[in-house]
Chain A
């Protein structure tokens, strides 16, 4: 058996709601941290140290284990120029890679177009979640968007298996480009048939998949399981996208209860996913990028934190040169940006690195500019 060169795959995990950078990668030896965070502080002896300055939240032990194996790059101080503290606009900026103007196409949408310019594979990119994130959108790019792989498909609400088979048969025939005419009709036909074919192919992943690994029941873990199923099914999918629901990490109150639970679930799921890939010898070709829209306010507000700016992101995988990247933003009051951590690490540098060094794409056209690359890959 000859070893086949496997296509490299990017898995993007969107942690919506803005996780609290300061209590995710914790500057546990900085006395200012203790001053700002009287209620929400994590005591130094509980922190999972990455070095003598910073460490992970104790609920992130599964990620710490991967870090210790050298598989996690921590991107400190990540952000974008002129921070905006709106969830929607900020997420939009991460999606489009355009901090100063509103555009409608996403950085990954543009990447998909470059990966598959002739649209040879309708499953070049697959999203798991409700609605397609703008990151994956671009004119002429078709991305399968799956709410739940087990129930995914066209006309799933039709009662009775025979009726559904018949309805789908009619659907396929009425979407034939031979019916109707003109370019719009051809486009609609193609999109309809692609959706149908995509659903048919995707759901076969359920049947070919078997694993000794068990995912937790939370929605994110289940979506990651779907990501694994699709990756392991070898459909030629290069970009897989999922995340948590909007607002999940928006811990304005009771953060001491919610944040550990969320990071526990998320890092558990990521670790399970990694183990699953490893069991199938499919780990080396995958890199995971995990991000959020911004960090949270340095000063706690009582039991939670409000919207901030500078944040932290993670890149995880066998190919990754693990370690800390970017500078941890200073906590000194005069160094804060309206009470928030100052970003120092343009998010587009991370994008450029992932696009160039992992996906083998030209990042300049995708990001509409040139950005310094980092050495995590």
Chain B
């Protein structure tokens, strides 16, 4: 298999999942790029390889999900073979945001996450309908407090501003304040039963309830359409808007391809790659708002293939990717919460995005505290030769022959970490460092430690912040 093909598969797996393992790169490279894209896009056709039955017997709280939902999500990210399915769950969790800090009902949030799993690669229209009926969302953005004759605009506004169209594009506003109010009117009567927060009775999920008596039946004018609209009609009108195609395309691009401007800047900042965005917008309309179709076009595009290391890894990608690499948490064991806390201390707490706008990405992941946390976590784990994944890297390097040159050590580690590339300067520094030991004997007692130290130095580089 050509190095270039392997590197491309590694890139695809890093973006469509949570980090690569060398054996996965080999297996998918044997199938080929396009076939791999197909497989990732169709999780329904493939077993996810998760023994959730066993995990549930270990993590007893998973029976009712009164607790343990972030850990459940993380466990699936580490172990599911259908990585894109999990990656889409995280994508929608970061776009159609609710937060446990307000909802305080894990069982309701669990159902939201499962909804993202079911609808995350289907029709965007269906997804918007589902999120509008999602009890966690209805509560989180106060739609249950929006009544006929006395609207609460919160959900109506965020549906337009942050979930579908965005405030504006190409320097123009996408809707007016009147549209926000009319949108909110159309969603009156969309409320919840089994009140939230559940505490201390959080064993039952809240459920969506449509109360026709509280729905404003009056005529509404929304984005130049007039009629006796209900929420579903509003969603239909939203989905027809070019702004919605643009908004969804920019989100997919920023998540899968390359770091771009953050959402609040989208009205005035053109896309980093207008051609790719145009291609996605066209596919949005051509496919009838189908997310899977947009993803297929995206993953097969040259822009995607060329965007290696154009994104700074999120904390979730960093932590889950490291655990997948070292082969930890392949089965239930105690002590999961500290792992979950690692992501939080790096700036991304699952089920608690900082605001309804979700997490800011790119360089905003990095500050003095989170950077030290990230580097130390990653270096501590790849430097521990007890982990099976670290052992596998050492053994693969040892299997190449009785000795390794400094260059072979550096390049071998980069390859086994997932075909990472470094700037020439950085690579030379690492080679110079390895040279102090001269040619390495792969049979020597200190070989494992030498490899581990090289891995630690690589994961501490600026380049490794990127995926």
Contacts and interface: CB of A to CB of B under 8 A. Distances in A.
Interface of A: 84, 86, 88-89, 92, 102-104, 122, 127, 130-132, 134, 137, 139, 141-145, 153-159, 163, 166-167, 170-171, 173-175, 178-180, 184-185, 187-189, 191-192, 194-195, 198-199
Interface of B: 99-102, 104, 197, 259, 312, 341, 344-345, 352, 354-357, 360, 362-364, 366-373, 375-376, 379-380, 383, 423, 425-426, 429-430, 433, 449, 453, 456-457, 460-463, 465
B202 to A, nearest CB: 13
A145 B101 contact: no
Given A130-B345, A131-B344, A194-B368, A170 B430 contact: yes
Contacts of B352: 88
A133 to B, nearest CB: 10
A267 to B, nearest CB: 28
A132 B370 contact: yes
Contacts of B341: 130-131
Contacts of B372: 145, 153-154, 195, 199
B367 A158 contact: no
Contact of A195 (B371, B383, B453): B371
A179 B423 contact: yes
A104 B356 CA distance: 10
B456 A102 contact: no
Contact of A157 (B356, B380, B423): B380
Contacts of B355: 102-104
A154 B376 CA distance: 6
B369 A179 contact: no
A346 to B, nearest CB: 21
B365 to A, nearest CB: 10
Contacts of A132: 367, 369-370
A224 B99 CA distance: 32
Contacts of B371: 191-192, 195
A202 B123 CA distance: 53
Contacts of B356: 102
B379 A92 contact: no
Contacts of B364: 139
Contacts of A131: 341, 344-345, 369, 373
A170 B368 contact: no
26 contacts: A86-B101, A88-B99, A92-B101, A102-B356, A103-B355, A127-B369, A130-B341, A131-B341, A132-B367, A153-B372, A154-B376, A155-B456, A157-B383, A158-B456, A159-B383, A159-B453, A170-B457, A170-B460, A174-B461, A184-B312, A188-B363, A188-B462, A188-B465, A192-B462, A195-B371, A198-B368
A301 B460 CA distance: 51
Nearest to A144: B368
B21 to A, nearest CB: 22
B265 to A, nearest CB: 12
B363 A158 contact: no
A156 B376 contact: yes
A188 B197 contact: no
Given A84-B102, A130-B341, A185-B462, 19 more contacts: A88-B100, A88-B352, A127-B369, A131-B369, A131-B373, A141-B367, A145-B369, A158-B379, A159-B383, A170-B460, A171-B457, A171-B460, A174-B426, A174-B460, A179-B425, A180-B462, A188-B366, A191-B368, A195-B371
B391 to A, nearest CB: 17
Contacts of B100: 88
Contacts of A159: 383, 449, 453
A184 B361 CA distance: 12
Contacts of A174: 425-426, 429, 460-463
A191 B429 contact: no
A104 B360 contact: yes
Which of A84, A102, A143, A180 is most buried by chain B, counting CB atoms within 10 A of its CB? Answer: A102
B259 to A, nearest CB: 7
Nearest to A104: B354
Nearest to B432: A170
SS class, residues of chain B in contact with chain A: helix
A143 B368 contact: yes
A135 B197 CA distance: 25
Nearest to B382: A157
A127 B461 CA distance: 25
B289 to A, nearest CB: 29
Contact of A155 (B357, B375, B433, B465): B375
Which of A84, A88, A194 is most buried by chain B, counting CB atoms within 10 A of its CB? Answer: A88
Contact of A142 (B99, B101, B367, B380): B367
A178 B424 CA distance: 12
A179 B423 CA distance: 7
Contacts of B362: 184
Contacts of A156: 376
A173 B357 CA distance: 36
B376 A187 contact: no
B462 A175 contact: yes
Contact of B368 (A155, A167, A171, A195): A195
Contact of B423 (A86, A134, A180, A199): A180
A189 B369 contact: no
A84 B102 CA distance: 9
A143 B376 contact: no
B52 to A, nearest CB: 28
A188 B64 CA distance: 43
B453 A170 contact: no
B197 A86 contact: yes
A81 B30 CA distance: 61
B363 A187 contact: yes
A167 B460 contact: yes
Contact of B383 (A158, A178, A189): A158
B379 A157 contact: yes
Contacts of A122: 368
Nearest to B370: A132
Contacts of A134: 354
Contact of A144 (B344, B369, B460): B369
Contacts of A104: 354-355, 357, 360
Contacts of A141: 367
Contact of A86 (B104, B363, B433): B104
A150 to B, nearest CB: 15
Contact of A163 (B363, B370, B453): B453
A181 to B, nearest CB: 10
A143 B367 contact: yes
A277 B138 CA distance: 52
Contacts of A145: 368-369, 372-373
A211 B426 CA distance: 44
A157 B462 CA distance: 18
Nearest to A166: B433
B151 to A, nearest CB: 17
A195 B369 CA distance: 8
